[in-house]
Amino acid sequence: MKNLSLLTLLSIFPVLCSFAQNRPRERGIIFGVLPTGGHNSITDVAGVKVGHFTKIEGDEIRTGVTAIMPHGGNIFQEKVPAAVYVGNGFGKLAGSTQIMELGNIESPIVLTNTLSVAAGIEGVVRYTLAQSENEKIQSVNAVVGETNDGYLNDIRGMHISPKEVIQAIEAAEGGKVAEGNVGAGTGTVCFGWKGGVGTSSRKLPESLGGYTVGVLVQTNFGGNLQIDGVAVGEKMGRYPFRDAMEKSDGSCMIVVATDAPVMDRNLERMAKRAMMGLAKTGGIASNGSGDYVIAFSTAEGLRVKHEAKSGSLDTAESIRNDDMSSLFMAVIEATEEAIINSLFAAESMDGNHGHHVEKLPLDQVMNLMEKN
């Protein structure tokens, strides 16, 4: 792989991830009781698109960008209701305070590495300003999250450019989403094994509204790995504090999408439940972990028009509190599965300073699962 050109890598890598995935469901591991959407992906929420830019160069560069588009139109002109929940704040989530203040998102959501957040902001701003109808816009609240991929990636080199961020945005599409060592998950490490990007979805029955909930994660955190209730990390000898020199720090970015008509207050309640899904995988939100959840609704009736007439009133209808519980369950189940999907899809990687991270040993994991 070291001898392949970057262009070749970028052209074949997403294809390999898309068609060679080895998801836990394919091996008989079922998370929760709710059915998945058609692709078991955040893109099962109608209109949501995902794009990756993967950068693998030489022996040291292992990083990338993942972009999530809440809908296919001009997001600045048609903002979506949104919320942020901070599970543990040791990280950087650009644009979060405006989401908390106004309850909406006006840009693509970009995930990348810690020292590329500035490039992410510039890329999102340039993309937004260049869109038709935005010619007079003078302020853009770019939403950019991160995890630190510095173990495998030369993070100090700041190898992501605004142009590459735009490439990820423009590559966004619906359908199947590449997982594992791709985009923002290229250089991440999770539970001591290779982490990455993962996604999952849940489809509620018609009796509960028929809504879809989708989750995408960038996994780069530690803890005692559990898969469907089995303490895999402990049984395989990898868990926090086993050795005083080992660390369980790291971060996890979680993006939750739904087509349910949910306003920002209840979207925040959904975002909180994503941390329960993380906990079910054995994540502990350690002191040095930046664990953030961004949740948004694609419901067209709730979109905020940028050019709304002054003095007009919002009259949108939204789900009552009493009907939120099924959506809470959907978030928990989809988050848990998305995290495990990221591990199952990831491949072993060599990187910066000769560091090597093994992929999760799936055969060994399955042996443990079958014994429980």
Specify whether 201 is catalytic. no
DSSP H stretches of helix in the chain: 6-19, 96-102, 117-129, 162-170, 232-235, 264-280, 325-345, 362-370
* Cβ-defined contacts of 356-361 (< 8 Å, 24+): 357/151, 357/152, 357/189, 357/193, 357/194, 358/193, 358/194, 359/193, 359/194, 360/193, 360/194, 361/236
User: For 143-177, how does the pLDDT look when each residue is reduced to its tens digit (9 = 90+)?
Assistant: 999 999 999 999 999 999 999 999 999 999 999 99
Q: What are phi and psi of 119, to 5 degrees?
A: -65, -35
CB 91 within 8 A of CB 290: yes
pLDDT over threshold 70, residue 17: no
Instruction: Specify the pLDDT at position 250.
Output: 86
From the candidates 44, 154, 264, 291, give the one annotated as an active-site residue.
291
User: For 359-370, how does the pLDDT look when each residue is reduced to its tens digit (9 = 90+)?
Assistant: 999 999 999 999
User: For 300-342, how does the pLDDT look when each residue is reduced to its tens digit (9 = 90+)?
Assistant: 999 999 987 788 888 889 999 999 999 999 999 999 999 999 9
Q: Would you state the structure tokens that stand for residue 36, as one six-digit string?
A: 């998945």
Q: How far apart are CA 350 and CA 287, in angstroms?
A: 27
Q: Would you state the structure tokens that stand for residue 315, as one six-digit string?
A: 């009259």
Structure confidence at residue 13 as a pLDDT band (50, 70, 90): very low
Q: How far apart are CA 331 and CA 280, in angstroms?
A: 12
Instruction: Specify the pLDDT at position 357.
Output: 96
Instruction: Specify the pLDDT at position 2.
Output: 33
pTM here is 0.93
Structure confidence at residue 371 as a pLDDT band (50, 70, 90): confident
Q: Which of 18, 361, 363 is nearest to 181 (CA)?
A: 18
**Lowest model confidence (mean pLDDT) among 10-14, 133-137, 224-228:** 10-14
Instruction: Specify the pLDDT at position 86.
Output: 98
Instruction: Specify the pLDDT at position 312.
Output: 81
CB 190 within 8 A of CB 152: no
Instruction: Specify the pLDDT at position 352.
Output: 97
Specify whether 251 is catalytic. yes
Q: In this structure, what DSSP letter does residue 185 have? A: G
Please state, in angstroms and as integers, the Cα–Cα distance from residue 90 to each residue in 221, 352, 360, following that order: 12, 23, 26
Instruction: Specify the pLDDT at position 21.
Output: 54
User: For 74-113, how does the pLDDT look when each residue is reduced to its tens digit (9 = 90+)?
Assistant: 999 999 999 999 999 999 999 999 999 999 999 999 999 9
From the candidates 41, 116, 286, 289, give the one annotated as an active-site residue.
289
Structure confidence at residue 4 as a pLDDT band (50, 70, 90): very low
Instruction: Specify the pLDDT at position 320.
Output: 96
Instruction: Specify the pLDDT at position 307.
Output: 84
Structure confidence at residue 249 as a pLDDT band (50, 70, 90): confident
Mean pLDDT of the chain: 92
Structure confidence at residue 248 as a pLDDT band (50, 70, 90): low
From the candidates 107, 200, 201, 251, give the one annotated as an active-site residue.
251
Percent of the chain clearing pLDDT 70 (strictly above): 92
Specify whether 107 is catalytic. no
